[in-house]
Structure 1
Amino acid sequence: MDLLIAAAARALASGDPLAALNRVALRDDPPALALRGIAMAQLGDLGRATALLRRAARGFGPGQPIARARCAVAEAEIAFVSRDLAWPEAALEAARATLEARGDQSNAAHARTLQARRQLLVGRIGEAERTLAGLDPASLPAASRAACELVAAGIALRRIDTKAARVALDRAGIAAREARIPALVAEVEAAARALDTPSARLIAGGRERPLLLEDVENLLASEALIIDACRHGIRAGDVTLSLATRPVLFALARALAEAWPADAARRTLLQRAFGARHVDESHRARLRVEIGRLRAALGNLAKITATKNGFALKLHHQRAVVVLAPPVENRHAGLLALLADGEAWSSSALAIALGASSRTVQRALDTLARAGKVQSFGRARSRRWTVPSVPGFPTVLLLPGPLPSD
């Protein structure tokens, strides 16, 4: 490696892309093209960066597999940052395997961290944990160690394990400051703010109050019967019931919980579950059927008894009944939670992350755009979506992922 290439590489490692470009901007050999691509990525010109990395990979040829693998990892990172979730995972896995087999453990670790970050983003928490388990953060350079700890903190946040998240974020902060990369330090600080921002509302006895994520963790560890409007499930102790695919039953359960210990009027239940404005006998019959289904779903968690005015929850044990709700109620809360990371998303990437069809996501984006809650730029395949600002909008409890007991 010549002196200019080495100096440019050191500048990029320290987060100074302009210094790197000053050394290799006029060169077109493959190492210079690769460094120029990484520099352009750090400056935010992701399209140009991808083109340069692909030129570099072609220039290295099959006789330089390590250099080609490094280009593939850099391109995968650009795809992740630009939320191009359709970028082939197999290419990153192949690059990581090549780097590990040929002894480039530092870049192999970076590739593994990148894999875990992508898996975490789309809610594959177990896979992210297994991917990260193959790394020893203590053996990594400071920047890679910070990235690894950030992923560990993200997994802990999705699992609602605040103690583990704080420990991982503390380690990430130490590593980021050691690396002396301002953008990395800022990323760690932004992640840490999730622990000090209200993540949910507690609704009980006709009152509500905000909860930090640590408060949510304590609530989930209690004996209360929790109607979780963030994950659309019901929890009591170690028992978790998901109603994510049964919205009518969940709406009834939430209405009954908000009225507890009193009963919920039939008209209220019909409005909440079916949106009925004018109640007739067919609505009442349907309500009886759905209440029967909810009784069966609840099993031993609680009973539902009929009253003169409607229905009421009756618990087998001396438990409280509470509703855990997002701080901001919105039909498309999960979509807004993904956009709240500040990155520019394509509709196809949002569909992959949410596990929904592209058409469903596009309709939701159009609705939110008309309401002024999201904005787009670009056209056709290059169109990207961002959120202008969602004050106090949390992401942890609304992002794709399992219930804490899963």
Structure 2
Amino acid sequence: MTSYRNADLRAPILRGKAPLGWRLPPHDWDRTPWNRWSFQNIRMCVPTEEIPRGPAALTWEEAPQDLSRIAFTGCDGKPMTLADLLADYADGFLVAHRGRILHESYHNGMTRGTRHLLMSVSKSIASTTAGILIDRGLLDPAAPMTEYLPELAATGWKGATLQQVLDMTTGVRFVEDYEDPDCDVARLEYASGWKPMPPGADPAQCPETTWAQILSLTDCEAPHGARFSYRSIETDLLGVLIARVSGQSFARTVSEVLWAPMGAEAEAYVTVDREGTPLADGGICASLRDCARFGQTMLDGGRAGGRQVIPGAWVEDVRGGDHGRFDDQSREFMPNGRYRNMFWIRDVARPVHISLGIYGQFIYVDPERELVVACLSSWPESISDMRHSNTIRAIDAIAAALS
């Protein structure tokens, strides 16, 4: 079955509630075309734990503008508008400038109250939660991971520091190929409770839980700190660490130190495995407005509602910390970019930072232009250079028009 664009007149799978007798393929529920439905209905797919909001949501000032005609050149050299981009596979798109919402639109059945799967945008939320715990003295980025999780002494993380985990510069071997059904990230889908055991897999090679998979990773392929390599398991380890030092679940900690204080308007939730361990690397689901609220809080130096929620030192470290590590694959789409504290740094010469997730999830923060853009999508491909480029081009055109 093929996927459908927002501009298509008739959708091959039902938008909204799944029809009676309709079943998602257990190994492919998060892939095209099923992701057009499942990304907005994760609680009908896998177990989750709630991330409660606080007693009062912060309100947004709204100043609606018609941005749909903003034009830019697509990566194929053809003219495009924001309306063209949204007619593709966007589920929600929000633009906030100088603290005011200028554009907010929903597509493919999504609404303001819908919680959408964030994929790896979750990493920035998890790392920022750790950043708050660092500020409170519960964590030290220079400390070895074994200081907090002694069990790691028998794994590849022996000798690695928390900062190296945050920057994904440990040397631990973890193969992350979304198209390979027999690599580490595919086994993580089983361990985390997302998928059944891969067909034909050796049960002895498939850990039952996320923590069991972490403990099974004993090989290093580089000295710690010597290279950057994007590996989602680093964030799942961070999720375990957050729960260990806080003395409560990852979800409860995110709620108490970040989600409620920043004034989220809706509960979020995170997928969990058979032991209740969260998929911190990509399992958080949240509303479009709350994604933008997180971005706005980062843009405002960590402040929300007149209070310091995210430490100012954390925000500054994301924007200007040690950006010395990157890899050739990442330079293909961010030539002068870096990765810091589980945020993508678009250009080391500017303070722009991006939270990115596969299938088209973005929180784009440009402090110089006082701009936040949140985009939630269900692309047909996990990674699309063309759609990524067109989204960034659209954001650049919006920034230019507003300035």
TM range (shorter): under 0.3
Q: Which has the larger radius of gyration?
A: 1
Structure 2-normalised TM-score?
0.23
Higher helix fraction: Structure 1 or Structure 2?
1
Higher strand fraction: Structure 1 or Structure 2?
2
Greater RCO, CA 8 A, separation 6+: 2
